[in-house]
Amino acid sequence: EVLKQEEEETENSEGYITVGFSQVGSESDWRAANTQSFLDTFTAENGYYLLYEDAQNKQENQLKAVRSFILQEVDYILLDPVVETGWDSVLQEAKDAGIPVIVSDRKVVVSDESLYTCWVGSNFEEEGRKAGEWLANYLETRGRSRETINLVTLQGTLDSSAQLGRTEGFSEVLALHKNWNMLEYQSADFTQTKAQEVMERFLAKYPDIDVVICENDNMAFGAIDAIHEAGKTCGPDGDIIIISFDAVRAAFEAMQEGKINMMVECNPLQGPVVADIIQQLERGEDVAKVRYMDEKYFDTSMDLDFIIETRTY
Ligand code: GYE
């Protein structure tokens, strides 16, 4: 059945814009929303034939996927790179084959910028700075700006743009506050299960943690579970301040339950933006090399009910 359907689809790909998308994986709620945004956008109805590959967080799988897209002579390659480096050769191969590569979400660092057409995604450094600035303000309004504040950070997948940018942006603000004491950084790969393990270890090692920086919501969920299991509390009325990134629906719910203090939004709805770019390229127009998504931050001083009503992920 499935085979038959695939055959038919391949035959029908004539006349459609063929797009090969190499996605990072399925590690988080954010990722699920991001994938869905591409699946909803790149439909036959909209004139596309989509080849979708989940790389399960492995760059080697992405290299294979991109090479297979080149062999299949797709019209466009979409790449959300797990890590930033190691892309020069495969992108050169795509360029030699005359296939434009649109990078979304995470970035590539290459020696020659002409190896990809453009990048669309979030300003991760800015996200990190927003988190730091919010914390400074929060502590100040509570008369804690001179107190020693002990922090730990649950980092995302090491060397991914989201991890690098959020760590860097936050550390800029950290450097301005001599009383902030970052006890330890450890990666939990953006997943809830690993974050819970890492947080258990942090709690056993450091009796007096004031703030946990979680580089995505799913790691915040793991941290919250570990905190509760250790007999502690978190959130605005708790022992430990939780700061998170992404702002998916489940995180809004956790915030409403008083478990998360603040989250910086990261917008996963990139499918339509990438489709716009493809349409521009189809018309022979120039496209901007860099395009940032619109993003805010949220805390418990805001009307969360209203936001949840309109949140689609
Ligand atoms: O924050 C995290 C996901 O690259 C922005 O990857 C993305 C990050 C997102 O796993 O939840």
Distance from the alpha carbon of residue 216 to the mean position of ligand 1, in angstroms? 6
176-205 pLDDT, tens per residue? 999 999 999 999 999 999 999 999 999 999
Residue to mutate, 26, 106, 127, 190, ligand 1, most ligand atoms under 8 Å from C-beta: 190
Q: Is the dihedral of CA 158, 107, 312, 20 positive or negative?
A: negative
Centre of ligand 1 to C-alpha 62, Å, is: 17
Give pTM, 2 decimals: 0.94
**Tokens (6 digits) for 282:** 């189809």
Of the candidates 177, 268, 182, 181, the one whose C-alpha atom is nearest the C-alpha of residue 218 is 268
Q: What pLDDT shows up at residue 307? A: 86
In the numeric block, the tokens 């950070």 are attached to 153
DSSP β-bridge partners for residue 104: 120
Choose among 86, 76, 82: nearest CA to 111: 86
Average pLDDT on 237-251 reads 97
> Is the beta carbon of 105 within 6 A of some atom in ligand 1?
yes
CA-based end-to-end distance of the chain: 32
pLDDT for position 11: 47
Q: Is 107 a residue whose pLDDT tops 80? A: yes
Q: What pLDDT was estimated at residue 5?
A: 52
CA–CA dist 267, 270 (Å, integer):
8
CA of 140 to the centre of ligand 1 (A): 30
Mutational pocket test of ligand 1: of 27, 31, 221, 263, the residue with most ligand atoms within 8 Å of the beta carbon:
31
Mean pLDDT, the chain, whole residue set: 95
Compute the distance from residue 152 Cα to the ligand 1 centre, in Å: 19
Q: How far is CA 206 from the centre of its chain?
A: 28
Give the whole-number percent of the chain exceeding pLDDT 90.
92
pLDDT in tens, 144-171: 999 999 999 999 999 999 999 999 999 9
Mutate to test the pocket of ligand 1, among 36, 170, 245, 246 (most ligand atoms within 8 A of CB): 246
Nearest to 267 by CA among 104, 84, 102: 104
pLDDT digits (tens, 9 = 90+) for 248-286: 999 999 999 999 999 999 999 999 999 999 999 999 999
For 293, the 3-state DSSP assignment is coil
Task: Say if residues 234 and 259 touch (Cβ distance below 8 Å).
Answer: yes
Indicate whether 1 pLDDT > 60: no
Q: Residue 197's pLDDT is what?
A: 98
Tell me if 245 CB under 6 Å of ligand 1: yes
Residue (of 293, 295, 264) closest to 121 by Cα position: 293
pLDDT class for 4, splitting at 50, 70, 90? low
